[in-house]
Amino acid sequence: MTAEAMSVALADFLGDRVNPASFHHADHVRVAFEMLRLHPFLEAAPVYAARLKRLTARAGHPEAYHETITVAFLALIAERCARGGHADFDAFAAANGDLFDKNVLSNWYRADELAAPLARNTFVLPRPRG
């Protein structure tokens, strides 16, 4: 995908022009990558979260929004962007295939922790493993 197309994807996401039924996990990662190339994490996070909330509400499932998953994935993508220096999304995706697995957060969170209402409604730091 070209940089121009990614910019269109980001513009559509920010402009609430994304069809919720066709916005999949890989699209979340792509849009997050684009946002984080343009804005620091602390600026991107509230905008990204607000748009996801609107997207889930438009889909008729506002309860689908999950604060911990959103912030943790965005932080992970931001860290990988900062470490990698990838020229574009294709290079980023090739180097970070694990981010396309929705279960990647199991490296930091147990399933029961993510299933808890607290984690759904506020960002919860991962617990130390051990």
pLDDT per position as a tens digit, 104-130 = 999 999 999 999 999 999 999 998 776
pTM score: 0.90
What pLDDT is attached to residue 130?
63
Count of beta carbons in the 10 Å neighbourhood of residue 43: 12
Q: Residue 2 — very low, low, confident or very high, per pLDDT cuts 50/70/90? A: very low
Eight-class DSSP state of 87: S
What's the mean pLDDT when you consider all of the chain?
Answer: 92
pLDDT of residue 103 exceeding 90, the answer is yes
Distance CA 20, CA 58 (A): 7
Q: Are 49 and 67 in contact (CB under 8 A)?
A: yes
Q: What angle do CA 108, 98, 27 make, to 5 degrees?
A: 105
Please tell me the least confidently modeled range out of 24-33, 41-50, 120-129: 120-129
What pLDDT is attached to residue 128?
75
Q: What is the pLDDT averaged over residues 92-113?
A: 96
